[in-house]
């Protein structure tokens, strides 16, 4: 793309080299979906050597062999970070000569969350602009992953020049229950991959009305910003109107609702050689009607490759006030539950856990208030009540609460009145409730 699409650039300038690094299972899947886009140099990286070995057609790197011994990071960002730090030189070498590096990852797991900031730093040190493209976990994946993802995002924003945050939750209505899971996820990966391609073109092509990295960074910047990238392409007679209509049908745009609520819109219109002022005018007039009062920045690109077609790319950013509220809307009792924690800490393929099976939904169903809430008298009462005949099934479940597995250390507060805040026992050490691993 970069060879033939810089018509107005200086003839002697070397074409920009764009490197795409996919991290973790989610990142690798998206990179795999990108393969076949020749101008992008793809690199798939994972700590899980077995998972990455199955991949064909892209350059791949299994990193952190010493830290993880070729296994996954097990949902622990610390291990992911350690793995990336171990092979920082590898990443730096991979980025040498690139002018723009995309770091693609799904946040909330181990490898993506932990390694993305480290890789972004390595890429930046090698002199490239770094654009991170990350997917936030689905809500059903649990509060812990959301929290890890938010923490990882904060860190990533320190390292990368710009971060495009795509909440997976937006894709929920794509998840048609009748379609096979594999197809749905291939679909969502393809959508993200399309987004990456569109952004790459936007940045590498010198436009008639130019949009550069700085305007992209301004659009996606913000502490709690979430972005959606949507793109549509069409040919035909009434393409200016049709392309907008097609864009509005894009699943990420939620029937155009996203455009209305977005705080910042970056619009890039691209056309073939016959691309006229009238086309741009028509597209923008049509699109403006669907937009809210957000800040709109537009660019126009003439791309000979788009013979007779019209393509439009929208990056819509919404600056939400407090994502923490969403996280906390989880039933808080589920947070400190060992059962819930166990499910998300399982060492196998944590990154694609949600891609394969909606397993983590299950533990929520059985959530009960933690046993320390009961005073000794109440416990006695319950036991006495269920000791009577005819209450066998209930007694069984109540006795389950007494299992020592459920009781976590409270140190010196063992005997004092528990401090319950929104269903969470604050006397239990924070690092235990948040699942920090001391290795």
Partner 1 sequence: MSDRNSIIVGLEIGTSKVCAVVGEVNDTGAVNIVGVGQSRSRGVRKGEIVDASQAEEDVRNAIVEAEKMADVEIRDVYLGVTGGHLRGLTNRGVHPVVSADREITEEDVQDVIKNAKAINLPTENSNIHAIRQHFTVDGQPGVISPAGMLGARLEVDVHVIHGNTNRLKNSIRVVKGLQLDVAEIVFNGLASSLALLNSEQKELGALVIDIGGGTTDYAVYVEGVIKHTGVLAVGGDHVTSDLGVGLKISLGRAEQLKIEHGSALPDGAGGRSIELPGDFGMPGRTINLEHLCRIMSLRMLEIFELIEQELHEVGLLDYLRGGVFVCGGGARIPHIEKLAERVFGVPASIGRTNSISGIKSALDQPEFAAAIGLVKFGSFQQKKQAGGRSILKSVANSIFGAFKS
Q: ∠319-323-325 over CA atoms, to 5°? A: 135
Q: From CA 429, how far away is CA 128, in angstroms rounded?
A: 41
Q: Minimum distance from CB of 223 to partner 1 (Å)?
A: 7
Q: Within 222-281, which residues bind partner 1 (CB under 8 A)?
A: 223
Does residue 426 touch partner 1 according to CB under 8 A?
yes
Compute the least distance from the CB of residue 108 to partner 1, in Å: 18
Task: Tell me the pairing of strands 225-235 and 309-319.
Answer: antiparallel
Buried b (16+ CB within 10 A) or exposed e, 408-438: eebeeeeeeeeeeeeebbebbeeeebebeee
Q: Is 421 in the site for partner 1 (CB under 8 A)?
A: yes
Residue keyed to tokens 């910003």: 225
Give the number of residues in contact with partner 1, rule: CB under 8 A: 24
* Contact flag: residue 431 with partner 1 (CB under 8 A): yes
Convert 335-352 to b/e letters by CB count within 10 Å (16 or more is b).
Answer: bbbbebbebbbeeebbbb
- Our finding on whether 321 is near partner 1 (CB under 8 A) is yes
Of the candidates 35, 30, 83, the one whose C-alpha atom is nearest the C-alpha of residue 61 is 83
C-beta closer to partner 1: residue 392 or 421: 421
The interface mask with partner 1, positions 391-410, x = CB under 8 A, is: ------------------xx
| Residue whose C-alpha is closest to residue 220's, from 269, 162, 155, 296 | 162
Find, among 105, 215, 90, the residue nearest to 166 by Cα: 105
CA angle 229, 233, 235 (to 5 degrees): 165
- Residue 226 CA to chain centroid, in angstroms? 10
Among 169, 245, 328, 359, interactor with partner 1 by CB under 8 A: 328
Q: Which stretch binds partner 1 (CB under 8 A): 10-18, 60-68, 273-281, 416-424?
A: 416-424
Neighbours of 325 (CB within 10 A): 9
Q: Determine, following the binding rule CB under 8 A, whether residue 124 of this chain makes contact with partner 1.
A: no
Task: Tokens for 175, please give them.
Answer: 């998840």
User: Looking at beta carbons only, is 70 or 332 nearer to partner 1?
Assistant: 332
Please tell me the distance from the alpha carbon of residue 138 to that of residue 23, in angstroms, as a whole number. 18
Q: Which residue, 8 or 158, has its beta carbon nearer to partner 1? A: 158
Cα–Cα dist 92/290, whole Å = 43
Instruction: Write down the least CB distance from residue 134 to partner 1, Å.
Output: 20
Strands 264-271 and 309-319: antiparallel
Stretch near partner 1 under the rule CB under 8 A, chosen from 98-106, 330-338, 349-357, 421-429: 421-429
- Which element (helix H / strand E) includes 100? strand 100-106
Asked whether position 325 contacts partner 1 by CB under 8 A, the answer is yes
Q: Return d(Cα 287, Cα 265) in angstroms, integer.
A: 11
Question: Hey, which residues between 166 and 195 contact partner 1 (CB under 8 A)?
Answer: none
Q: How far is the CB of 126 from partner 1 (least distance, A)?
A: 23
Report the residue from 322, 348, 391, 403 that binds partner 1 according to the rule CB under 8 A. Answer: 322
Shortest distance (Å) from residue 107 CB to partner 1 = 18
Q: Among 21-29, 135-143, 194-202, 319-327, which window interacts with partner 1 (CB under 8 A)?
A: 319-327
324 binds partner 1 per the rule CB under 8 A:
yes
Tokens describing residue 259: 């455009």
Q: Does 375 bind partner 1 (CB under 8 A)?
A: no
129-136 and 100-106 as β-strands: parallel, antiparallel, unpaired? parallel
Each residue 211-230 as x (binds partner 1 by CB under 8 A) or -, in order, gives ------------x-------
Least CB distance to partner 1 at residue 17 (A): 33
Q: Is 416 in the site for partner 1 (CB under 8 A)?
A: yes
Q: Which residues bind partner 1 (CB under 8 A)?
A: 223, 321-322, 324-325, 328, 409-413, 416-417, 419, 421, 426-427, 429-432, 434, 436, 438
């Amino acid at each position: 793309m970069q060879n033939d699409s810089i018509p107005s650039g200086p003839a002697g300038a070397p074409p920009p080299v764009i490197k795409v690094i996919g991290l973790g299972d989610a990142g690798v899947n998206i990179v795999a979906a990108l393969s076949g886009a020749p101008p992008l140099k793809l690199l798939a990286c994972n700590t899980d050597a077995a998972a990455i070995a199955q991949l064909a057609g892209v350059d791949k790197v299994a990193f952190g062999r010493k830290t993880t011994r070729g296994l996954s990071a097990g949902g622990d960002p610390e291990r992911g970070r350690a793995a990336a730090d171990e092979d920082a030189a590898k990443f730096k070498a991979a980025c040498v000569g690139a002018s723009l590096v995309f770091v693609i990852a799904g946040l909330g797991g181990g490898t993506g969350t932990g390694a993305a900031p480290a890789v972004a730093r390595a890429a930046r040190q090698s002199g490239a602009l770094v654009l991170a493209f990350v997917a936030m976990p689905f809500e059903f994946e649990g509060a812990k992953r959301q929290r890890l993802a938010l923490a990882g995002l904060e860190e990533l924003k320190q390292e990368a020049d710009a971060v495009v945050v795509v909440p997976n939750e937006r894709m929920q209505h794509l998840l048609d229950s009748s379609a096979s899971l594999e197809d749905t996820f291939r679909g969502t990966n393809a959508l993200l991959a399309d987004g990456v391609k569109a952004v790459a073109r936007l940045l590498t092509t010198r436009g008639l009305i130019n949009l550069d990295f700085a305007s992209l960074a301004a659009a996606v910047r913000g502490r709690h910003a979430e972005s959606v990238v949507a793109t549509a392409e069409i040919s035909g007679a009434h393409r200016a109107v049709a392309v907008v209509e097609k864009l509005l049908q894009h699943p990420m745009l939620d029937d155009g609702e996203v455009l209305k609520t977005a705080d910042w819109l970056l619009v890039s219109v691209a056309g073939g050689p016959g691309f006229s002022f009238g086309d741009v005018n028509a597209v923008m007039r049509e699109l403006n009607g669907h937009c809210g009062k957000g800040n709109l920045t537009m660019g126009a690109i003439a791309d000979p490759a788009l013979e007779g077609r019209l393509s439009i790319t929208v990056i819509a950013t919404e600056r939400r006030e407090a994502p923490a509220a969403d996280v906390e809307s989880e039933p808080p009792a589920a947070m400190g539950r060992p059962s819930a924690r166990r499910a998300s800490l399982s060492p196998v393929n944590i990154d694609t856990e949600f891609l394969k099976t909606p397993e983590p939904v299950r533990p929520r169903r059985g959530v009960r208030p933690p046993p320390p809430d009961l005073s000794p008298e109440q416990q006695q009462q319950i036991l006495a009540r269920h000791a009577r005949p005819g209450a066998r099934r209930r007694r069984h479940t109540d006795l389950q609460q007494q299992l020592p597995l459920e009781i976590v250390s409270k140190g010196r507060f063992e005997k004092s009145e528990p401090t319950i805040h929104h269903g969470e026992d604050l006397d239990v050490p924070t690092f235990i409730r948040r699942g920090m691993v001391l290795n």
